[in-house]
Each structure stands twice: as C-alpha cells, then as structure tokens.
Copies of this chain bind each other. A is one copy, B any other.
Amino acid sequence: MTKKLILIKLGGSLITQKDKPYTSNPQVIKRLALEIKKAQSNKYQYIIAHGGGSFPHISAKKYKTKLGLINKQSLKGLSLVQQDAFKINRIVNQIFTKANLNVLSFPPSSFIYSNNQKLYSIYSDPITQALRINATPLVFGDIILDKQLGFTIFSGEKILNHLASNLSQKGYQIKKIIQCGITNGVYNSKGKTIPKITPQNFSEIKKSLQGSASTDVTGGMAHKVKESLDMAQKYSNVYIINGQKKNNLYQTITSNKNLGTLISA
C-alpha cells in the first residue's frame, strides 16, 4: 500500500447541468471515471470529491442553509439540501462503480463537525481503512452540522482541504491536487487563462476573480482559487483544468503538464 495521494475534485457545474436543475451529465461523469481508471497505477491512490451543482444549490439558496438555523423553515431546508447532495452523489457513485472503480461514499455530514463554519472535528478511521484496502473514497459538498450556527454547508474543495490536513497528519503525502471545471483554468478580466497563480501574484489576480455564474452557494471561482492556494501552500501543486476536454484529466494525473492554471507555492 502506498501512502501517496492524488486528490481530484469534479466541479458541480461540470457534472450537472446549469440550466436544468436536478439533471446530471452522465456522459461526462462516465468519461471522467474512465480517464481516472485508465490513469490508475500502484504509485498512488485517489480521493475524489465532487460538487453538487444544480442539485443541492437550489434548495440551499432558497433556505439559506449555509447560514444555519435562522427560521422555522431552516430544518426542513436542511433535510432537503442533504437529500439533494446525496442524489448527485448516488449518480456519480453508480457511474464510477460501473466503470470498475471501487468507490465508497463518505458523506461529509457524517464525519465532519464545524464551529462557526470552521472545522471543529473530523473522523477519518473508515476513510483511511478504505485507502488501505484499495477502495477509493468519494466525498462531496454537503451540509455540515455546526456547533454555533446549527449547521452550514462545506464545498467539495473545503472537504478535500480538511481531509488533506487530517491525512497528512496520519502520514499520507498529497502528491497532486486536480480541480476539474468547465473553464480552461482561471480566467483574467479579459477571459484569458492565467497560467500560474502563486502567493506572490494572488493579490493582483484576486481583483479580476468573480463568484460563480450559476447558483453556487459555496462561492464559485474566487472561493475555488482561495482554497486551492491554501492547499498549494500546505500540500502540493493544484491544477485547475477544463474537465469538458477529453483526456485533460488523464494527462494531468499522469504527467506534470499544466493544461490550465497551475496554483503553486
């Protein structure tokens, strides 16, 4: 068993349809699964995270779930957002299993607890044992019970970041982090891909970054870059690539080519 990990995030906007709520992109999910399968080697293991896209974000926006227990409808909203987050996870899980990836789902609402939107506790015994037996943990953006707010929402990136921190402490090495979205990396204000973001040029670049164009309660591209820079500083290079382009994911797993934006410390 290797203790070297590649973390892969599949964006919600990539695996679901922005304009059709509760509609996934099964062909895209299948292709990504096959690229991951094809790239598989005994040199490292994967942890895969996905976003919720047009599944949970609608209820999450309606009930303001990220803010926690704010009114009488909040609890109902919480149940619905969890349901919707699980729905897209079930789709990804089934397509991945059919592609012969032995994935196991770990819903973050069951193993992470927060306090005022910061991590309070995390439990990873089952996830590390899954890695030990060569199963692939599948996590996702989910509701998170929160000590102060009642509950909140953590994005797929945030979940990966906290898992990376926990697993690093347990002796795992994060070799590479790959974020697949629907853009050719991070765009500047003119719509051109920024090849590299570092702590040095981030403050300048930040001005041109915007939130997500779709209904994304977790903050869109600005949030994604911020989490990525944090992960790059703590663990390893983060590659932001276009998952809609065939073989981008495969190539990024198997080589160090930068096909989009490289976020590096």
Does chain B have a CB within 8 A of A244? Answer: no
Query: Residue-by-residue, is A66-105 near B (CB-CB < 8 Å gives 1, otherwise 0)?
Result: 0001000001101110110011001001100100101111
Contact A102 B75 (CB under 8 A): yes
Does chain B have a CB within 8 A of A44? Answer: no
- Among the listed stretches A8-16, A127-135, A192-200, A230-238, which one makes contact with chain B, having 4 or more residues with CB under 8 Å of it? A127-135
User: Which listed residue, B94, B125, B145, touches A120 by the CB 8 Å rule?
Assistant: B125
Question: Which residues of chain B are within 8 angstroms of A78 by Cβ–Cβ distance?
Answer: 102, 104, 135
Please state the number of chain copies in the assembly: 2
Does chain B have a CB within 8 A of A56? Answer: no
Contact B104 A126 (CB under 8 A): no
- Among the listed stretches A20-28, A109-117, A167-175, A216-224, which one makes contact with chain B, having 4 or more residues with CB under 8 Å of it? A109-117
Give complex CA distance A88, B126 in Å. 22
Q: Tell me the residues in window 135-177 of chain A with beta carbons closer than 8 Å to chain B beta carbons.
A: 135, 143-147, 150-151
Contact A83 B79 (CB under 8 A): no
Does chain B have a CB within 8 A of A107? Answer: yes
